[in-house]
Structure 1
């Protein structure tokens, strides 16, 4: 069989616009599409100057047309950096020279100011030295004229020194700013040149399947690149008016990319997927119980090997080797699946390759919220306002920083927790100074109980006053107060005030997902702390009395130890 005719076409990747980019938390997927004309027989399409930070195993090629793909391979060759500067690098280099010249000008001005300050100080020293050398010709005659002249000189020295030092501080600050800009430009230039240190080429071998003549085919090339990331942030605005409360959540994506390629006017998507994580399910071995024997001393390398699990190698069936396959029509991928969520930005964006962070709006959602006040007066008498909402949006809320505003006033900077669709989200809104709590001194008492088997009784009475200074709005507040829990059957804890209700039934999953404000009354939480909820009317106050006693054998001593939830 005679050898097929072979043609080669070289294209510069930087001349082919990027169609879409999906940004992950540690990398990005770049998609380019273009049309080529295939000669009869075999055709090699060489896509040159692709990004230097490319992940080779991620390259994929699809297309439409009368052709089949035989092979896709990646080549990387070193090149001469001096002769390969892109217009972007030349532009940055020109800007760098301008900033360096401006910084040098400021340093020259700094030297002049310092010299003038030194000259003024030397003039003062000269006057002092002349008066102490014993040379009568140089001694200052302290008459009224000399005194006025000296006073005038010292006033001038003080005024000029202050003026020159103020100018020096301004120049110093400008120099620091310019030095930071010089560093930024150098980093950006080095990043570009690092990406250009090698010539990366994607080679695609296609076979024209037209019986005669050229074949027009559309190719779509996708690959992942490092040096890109995104993270979420939020702007939360709570608008409260009497009994109606609304929360507006603005969901932002903060994108940074230094891949060496500018993303100009691209369809941008942000994905929560983590391509670097493997999908293999861990396997358990057999757990046996045996007598402990001290293990023999083992080398560091062997200990490390025992703790390390080998990951399965990534599959490369898609890209390398194998028989020719028929080209298929490209299909759109779903924006959401069981493993991740992808946010598609509705307008096309331009994200240059530089150290800057670029903020894009993902969505703005309006949710009904429920406001509730909390206070732990034993530790802090400040009253904290919390807003509770259900995430009724189609977007999961990822963990990230949030700026919180209440009625257009800055309230707090917080870190939101991850919240899936349909789950409840509690958002702290900061301290409300219009609700005041007074934690009065604790009253303690000690008594003996029992006629035959005498026990000691240690009592505790705590009074808490809550004042609502709001003029027209009542508040629902929950006080958190510790109540001791017995760790021994000989220790009895008796609650006198308030009276505790019977335990409630276990909450259902539906109760957990629906927002329920605390009911007025008292209950013990999972840590055996008292939660006392009441409504305080406008310009009113209420006193809460928490009283309990602990009985224990008179020959024993008890102590109160606070344990965290994780102990």
Structure 2
């Protein structure tokens, strides 16, 4: 005969928790029970209903031997969270409120009527009769109101108690799992079991506070203080009070099997033909065939007259591109590193379970990282906004892996913006924007334009439209701007008859491979020196051979020119961009963007 020992998990705290980023958490409990010699059944009740059955692990500490572990799932949840008793009580309270309003209204009318009686114009006998009636009716109303208020108070108390029961039922529904552990003990006495299991409805996300201290002199260095925090949320049904908290980037629900490569086929896109006896049916054919088209793209279609029909030109055949092959549902792809990162939070943490009425996240600090390997650069796109944005490039010299997450940016203890930090390993560098620097003045002057036509009897006339754009920079800081990047662009011709030729800065037309109709490069560019601390190039675009992950090429469009300069304190720098649009005389063109 086995001895049954009941252990209520809701009355005992959790020992340690490991929270994952993928809606999972691993819970560990140390269960202390008194066992009898021989076989014992330890019933662990009120465990979370979101517990994963396959993740249960029980180990005996000491001389206890585990024979079996039995999982008992929670009972099916009720469809309605409000009990019939609560509904009846709420209905009763509504009727009592209505009755109270009627009695109070009657009392108000009776009192108002008595106040309006003029004793000088009313017979004394009738006045005495009214006062007798008033006293009787007023006393009856007061008694009814008093009894009604007592009943209403009792009903409200019953509603509150019933709501507590409903809330308790909801909580018990969240903690409906029971685990039975069959244990063999050599002798009577205390024993300890280690119970671990994985639950859903819990996750953590990284977030950062980046505080930048920017140097205003050549003697001091700029530095970054990065507060690395975790935002934790859980609604497992059990509170984590004073637990040893760990954070992990592992994915416990991901499979470990290496996926295979699936075969891909190429087939002929077979067209589908429809034949219409007259033009009137064309609209109906187009509407019916629209169901074959991919919703996100327009259907390619053409039609041509086919001779030989008895109805002359009314007999036409229509051609539609055949429907694309159905695509299979793609599976989610996770990129996992060979070693996952984990963080141990110092001290003990308390993360209560969220309820339906109270949902919140809890923040814990992983580390405060001081970074002094900081390089600054200023970036301006004056055509769009005449301001210089301060951007810092920081090397992660800490041993911590920085995970992708939002960052609040502070500069000199002032909040400036929100940004995003991508995944950064130890000893890798990352960039972040610190917002607009008001100490750097950028002026985008009005564009100058003039037109001339050349050509004669032996050559075709061409019209050349010349443009000149001047950009002025002023450094009002007390330190040198060692790297100020300015971007502008020239138009790109899409017509072989119209050419765009950059005349200044000189040398750009020879800096890269150019198209037939433009000196805008189609390939990698090289830097051209324009003087001390000033160089220019065609900015790399995404996908070109000269791009690197950190050069901002994703923001560049074709035709973008990039100056890089250094500006001393209090000094100015002028940049000039000139280009010609050459087109045959009489060909009108327009510029967009």
Global fold match (TM > 0.5): yes
Which position in structure 2 is the counterpart of 1:249?
226
Q: Secondary structure at the match of 2:42?
A: strand
Q: How does 1:392-431 map to 2 (within 5 A)?
A: 392-431=397-436
Q: How does 1:2-401 map to 2 (within 5 A)?
A: 6-25=2-21, 26-36=23-33, 38-66=35-63, 68-76=65-73, 78=75, 193-197=169-173, 199-208=176-185, 213=187, 218-241=192-215, 242-243=217-218, 244-278=221-255, 281=259, 283-292=261-270, 307-308=328-329, 338=338, 340-354=340-354, 355-367=359-371, 368-401=373-406
Which position in structure 2 is the counterpart of 1:526?
540
Q: In the TM superposition, what whole-angstrom CA distance separates every residue of 1:284-317 from its partner, at most 9, and x where no partner exists?
A: 233131232569999xxxx9x9845799xxxxxx
> Contact conserved, 1:520 with 1:535, CA < 8 A, in 2?
yes
Q: Matches of 1:385 and 1:556 in 2, distance apart?
A: 44
Q: Matches of 1:20 and 1:543 in 2, distance apart?
A: 63
Change in CA separation of 1:374 and 1:199 when aligned onto 2, cut-off 3 Å:
closer
Which position in structure 2 is the counterpart of 1:498?
505
> Contact conserved, 1:53 with 1:195, CA < 8 A, in 2?
no
Which position in structure 2 is the counterpart of 1:142?
none
> Contact conserved, 2:480 with 2:566, CA < 8 A, in 1?
no
Unaligned runs of 5+ in 1: 82-185, 312-335, 508-518, 563-567
Q: Secondary structure at the match of 2:10?
A: helix
> Contact conserved, 1:66 with 1:215, CA < 8 A, in 2?
no
> Contact conserved, 1:76 with 1:200, CA < 8 A, in 2?
yes
Q: Matches of 1:449 and 1:389 in 2, distance apart?
A: 54
Q: Matches of 1:506 and 1:422 in 2, distance apart?
A: 29
Q: Matches of 1:39 and 1:506 in 2, distance apart?
A: 80
Cα distance, 1:534 vs structure 2: 1.4
Q: Secondary structure at the match of 1:18?
A: coil
Q: Secondary structure at the match of 2:222?
A: strand
Cα distance, 1:362 vs structure 2: 0.5
Cα distance, 1:65 vs structure 2: 4.1
Change in CA separation of 1:291 and 1:220 when aligned onto 2, cut-off 3 Å:
same
Cα distance, 1:53 vs structure 2: 3.0
Cα distance, 1:551 vs structure 2: 2.9
Q: Matches of 2:501 and 2:63 in 1, distance apart?
A: 86
Cα distance, 1:14 vs structure 2: 3.1
Q: Which moved more, 1:485-494 or 1:361-370?
A: 485-494
The higher-RCO structure (CA 8 Å, 6+ apart) is 1
CA RMSD in angstroms comes to: 3.8
Aligned residues: 411
Q: Matches of 2:485 and 2:41 in 1, distance apart?
A: 73
> Contact conserved, 1:435 with 1:469, CA < 8 A, in 2?
yes
Unaligned runs of 5+ in 2: 79-161, 273-288, 293-323, 514-522, 526-532, 542-558
Q: Secondary structure at the match of 1:374?
A: strand
Q: Secondary structure at the match of 1:356?
A: coil
Cα distance, 1:530 vs structure 2: 0.8
Cα distance, 1:227 vs structure 2: 3.0
> Contact conserved, 1:38 with 1:214, CA < 8 A, in 2?
yes
Q: Matches of 1:195 and 1:282 in 2, distance apart?
A: 44
Which position in structure 2 is the counterpart of 1:155?
none
Q: Matches of 2:66 and 2:376 in 1, distance apart?
A: 61
> Contact conserved, 2:512 with 2:524, CA < 8 A, in 1?
no
> Contact conserved, 2:501 with 2:581, CA < 8 A, in 1?
yes
> Contact conserved, 2:535 with 2:564, CA < 8 A, in 1?
yes
Q: Matches of 1:47 and 1:222 in 2, distance apart?
A: 12
Change in CA separation of 1:427 and 1:80 when aligned onto 2, cut-off 3 Å:
closer
> Contact conserved, 1:435 with 1:466, CA < 8 A, in 2?
yes
Cα distance, 1:521 vs structure 2: 1.1
Cα distance, 1:223 vs structure 2: 1.5
The structure having more radius of gyration, on CA atoms, is 2
Q: Matches of 1:39 and 1:267 in 2, distance apart?
A: 31
Q: Secondary structure at the match of 1:224?
A: strand
Q: Which moved more, 1:474-483 or 1:214-223?
A: 214-223
Q: In the TM superposition, what whole-angstrom CA distance separates every residue of 1:321-366 from its partner, at most 9, and x where no partner exists?
A: xxxxxxxxxxxxxxx9726322211222122224332211111112
Q: Which moved more, 1:482-491 or 1:28-37?
A: 482-491
The normalised TM-score by structure 2 is: 0.61
Q: Secondary structure at the match of 1:470?
A: coil
Q: Matches of 2:491 and 2:176 in 1, distance apart?
A: 71
> Contact conserved, 2:45 with 2:179, CA < 8 A, in 1?
yes
> Contact conserved, 1:466 with 1:542, CA < 8 A, in 2?
yes
Change in CA separation of 1:63 and 1:238 when aligned onto 2, cut-off 3 Å:
same
> Contact conserved, 1:28 with 1:224, CA < 8 A, in 2?
yes
Q: Matches of 1:347 and 1:556 in 2, distance apart?
A: 76
Q: In the TM superposition, what whole-angstrom CA distance separates every residue of 1:102-141 from its partner, at most 9, and x where no partner exists?
A: xxxxxxxxxxxxxxxxxxxxxxxxxxxxxxxxxxxxxxxx
Q: Matches of 1:284 and 1:479 in 2, distance apart?
A: 47
Q: Matches of 1:497 and 1:215 in 2, distance apart?
A: 92
Q: Secondary structure at the match of 1:194?
A: helix
Q: Matches of 1:187 and 1:445 in 2, distance apart?
A: 81
Which position in structure 1 is the counterpart of 2:568?
537
> Contact conserved, 1:191 with 1:258, CA < 8 A, in 2?
no
Q: Matches of 1:255 and 1:228 in 2, distance apart?
A: 8
